[in-house]
Amino acid sequence: MSKSGKNQDKRIGKLLSNVALCMASLGSPVLSAATLILYVDVETNQVYTTPGKNRVKLGEFEQVKRVENSASQEETHVPAVSRVNQKVEEPAMRGAPAAEQSTATQTVAEQSQQVAPQKASAGKEEKKWYDRIKIGGYTQFRQSAGLSGDVENLSSPGDRSIEEDTNFFIRRARLVFQGDISDHLSLYMQSEFANGTVGVRDMYGDIYFDKKKEFRIRPGLSKIPNSFELLQSSRDRLAFERADPLASGVRNERDTGVFFYWTPEHVQKRFEFLKKDLKGSGDYGVIGFGAYTGQGLNQSDKNDNVHLAARVTYPFEFSNGQFFEAGFYGYTGRFVPTVATNVAAGILDKPTFDSKGHRDTRVGLHAVLYPQPFGFQTEWNWGKSPQLSADLSRIESDDIHGGYVQAMYKIDGSWGTWIPYVKWQRYDGAEKDSVNAPFSKVRETEVGVEWKYWSGVELTVAYANMERTNVRTLKHVNDANIMRFQLQWNY
């Protein structure tokens, strides 16, 4: 073969390779499924669809229909290239050297194979479980000032910032990790960094039985299905602390156990809205029940006995858009108290107690009219709890009762959101989580206002008149007046 003939064959081979590659990569456009026959002029290298003088047949090409979804496109591209290769290997390269035919065919196959897998992998890439985890939290920075009364002996199990010689105080510093790992599993973990220590507040998984997520179990360390205020996050609560009549039943609100929750799909959305916009408690089920150790947050079991808890609540929506929630709850079990001598309180010998635990039972009611703009909230509970006897010698199960009422008004304006509130509480009963489970009497009125101007930042200022028992010294403070300030930032 002459030199010019060889050059011509090379040009044809190169042209064939490029045409085939284009047909492979553009195989998705919608045409018909008819066969396309191409010819090339050996002198001008122009491509024609009809035979003629000096025209050499390149081959027959089948055009492929476009498939709408990406998965079908990926499947279609590769067979299209295969058909091109099959046609090219036959009459298209007549007269060209076999080695050049092979090179052209390999070039088409290799390049098209590089294109197809890239498209396939791009559409099928899935997120790893850790990509679904969200991080958030909040911090509460406080300052308290005693105004008058017996502030020196004032103490509260829930708020150390009110004690004597305490100035600036970080009440809470929480970091939350949460996310849906799959359609049937959601994780939640919350850590506490306040007071110079690090501790776990929550560590649980929600395991869902259905795609609507109406039925689930929650094993791990979590809040107990109990009163509205105990389930409401401190991030959302108006008052500085939870009411003692309720908090004394499950101090720190949490324990280790397993719970079942049922929430219809439409109520899930309602709970989500209420928590986001109207300081709701979140989704703890329309019905919730389960078992837990009963000894408190991060405490090991002491009597190989579990507490049982149950709760029923429902958020009603009226025709005018007003929300009202009502429900009841209760728990029962046996609690083992912690005992010790306390010279300051006059306890020279450890009180005697039942190592198997004392009866610990409560029932309660709650009702919440969400602030739209006026709101009202009340809870009350009754029961039996381990309590230090009047002569300070022993622990026995005794009566408890108490509750609170709270009124509030939500104002949205150009200067942000303002929610003034007033809260009154009373309690007569034991503080079972304190050493020796002493009796506590509480009468308290708190008047304050929460102001939110910038997103994620809240300022609360409140005055309180307190009558309460100092459960460490057993001294009763009949009258104390304080001011508290709290700056909270959410993240």
Predicted pLDDT of residue 122? 53
pLDDT of 35 higher than 50: yes
Strand bridging mode 476-490 / 134-149: antiparallel
Predicted pLDDT of residue 20? 52
pLDDT of 30 higher than 60: no
pLDDT of 293 higher than 70: yes
16 — pLDDT class (breaks 50, 70, 90): low
State mean pLDDT over 357-383. 98
Specify whether the CB–CB gap between 238 and 408 falls below 8 A. Answer: yes
Specify whether the CB–CB gap between 141 and 486 falls below 8 A. Answer: yes
The more confident residue out of 90 and 290 is 290
Q: Which two tokens stand for residue 391?
A: 């002569």
Tokens 């005992």 appear where? 339
SS3 sequence of the chain = CCHHHHHHHHHHHHHHHHHHHHHHHCCCCCCCCCEEEEEEECCCCCEECCCCCCEEEEEEEECCCCCCCHHHHHHHHHHHHHHHHHHHCCHHHCCCCHHHHHHHHHHHHHHHHHHHHHHHHHHHCCCCHHHHCEEEEEEEEEEEEEEEECHHHCCCCCCHHHCCCCCEEEEEEEEEEEEEEECCEEEEEEEECHHHCCEEEEEEEEEECCCCCCEEEEEEEEECCCCHHHHCCCCCCCCCCCCHHHHCCCCCCEEEEEEEEECCHHHHHHHHHHHHHHCCCCCCCCEEEEEECCCCCCCCCCCCCCEEEEEEEEEEECCCCCEEEEEEEEEEEEECCCCCCEHHHCECCCCECCCCCEEEEEEEEEEEECCCCEEEEEEEEEEEEEEECCCCCEEEEEEEEEEEEEEEECEEECCEEEEEEEEEEEEEEECCCCCCCCEEEEEEEEEEEEEECCCCEEEEEEEEEEEEECCCCCCEEEEEEEEEEEEEEEC
Predicted pLDDT of residue 127? 77
Distance of alpha carbon 329 from alpha carbon 306, whole angstroms = 17
- Tell me the backbone φ, ψ of residue 212, rounded to 5 degrees: -80, -10
Q: Which two tokens stand for residue 420?
A: 């003034």
Predicted pLDDT of residue 167? 81
Burial 92-123 (b: 16+ CB within 10 A, else e): bbeebeeebbebbbebbbeebeebbeeebeee
Name, in order, each residue with C-beta under 8 angstroms of 252's C-beta and a sequence gap of 6 or more. 201, 296, 297
Longest alpha-carbon distance in the chain: 123
Strand bridging mode 439-452 / 47-48: unpaired
For the stretch 87-123, pLDDT in tens is 434 444 444 444 444 444 444 445 445 544 554 455 5
State mean pLDDT over 209-229. 97
Predicted pLDDT of residue 1? 53
Distance of alpha carbon 132 from alpha carbon 125, whole angstroms = 14
State mean pLDDT over 238-253. 96
Predicted pLDDT of residue 33? 46
- Tell me the backbone φ, ψ of residue 128, rounded to 5 degrees: -75, 160
Measured at the CA of 350, the angle between CA 308 and CA 249, to 5 degrees, comes to: 25
Ranking 145-149, 163-167, 464-468 by mean pLDDT, the lowest is 163-167
Give the residue from 177, 180, 152 showing the smallest Cα distance to 166. 152
pLDDT of 6 higher than 70: no
Tell me how long the chain is. Answer: 491
Q: Which two tokens stand for residue 482?
A: 């304080």
Q: Residue 276: left (phi > 0), alpha (psi -120 to 50), or beta?
A: alpha
For the stretch 257-269, pLDDT in tens is 999 999 999 999 9
State mean pLDDT over 265-290. 97
- Tell me the backbone φ, ψ of residue 401, rounded to 5 degrees: -165, 150
Predicted pLDDT of residue 45? 76
State mean pLDDT over 162-191. 92
Specify whether the CB–CB gap between 226 and 247 falls below 8 A. Answer: no
- The whole-model pTM stands at 0.74
The domain limits of the chain are: 3-124, 131-490
Predicted pLDDT of residue 197? 80
Query: Is the preceding omega at residue 373 within 30 degrees of 0, hence cis?
Result: yes
Measured at the CA of 142, the angle between CA 137 and CA 146, to 5 degrees, comes to: 160
Q: What integer best gives the mean pLDDT of the chain?
A: 85
| Percentage of the chain lying above the pLDDT 70 cut | 80
75 — pLDDT class (breaks 50, 70, 90): very low
Architecture of the structural domain at 131-490: Beta Barrel (2.40)
Q: Residue 342: left (phi > 0), alpha (psi -120 to 50), or beta?
A: beta
pLDDT of 234 higher than 60: yes
Predicted pLDDT of residue 316? 98
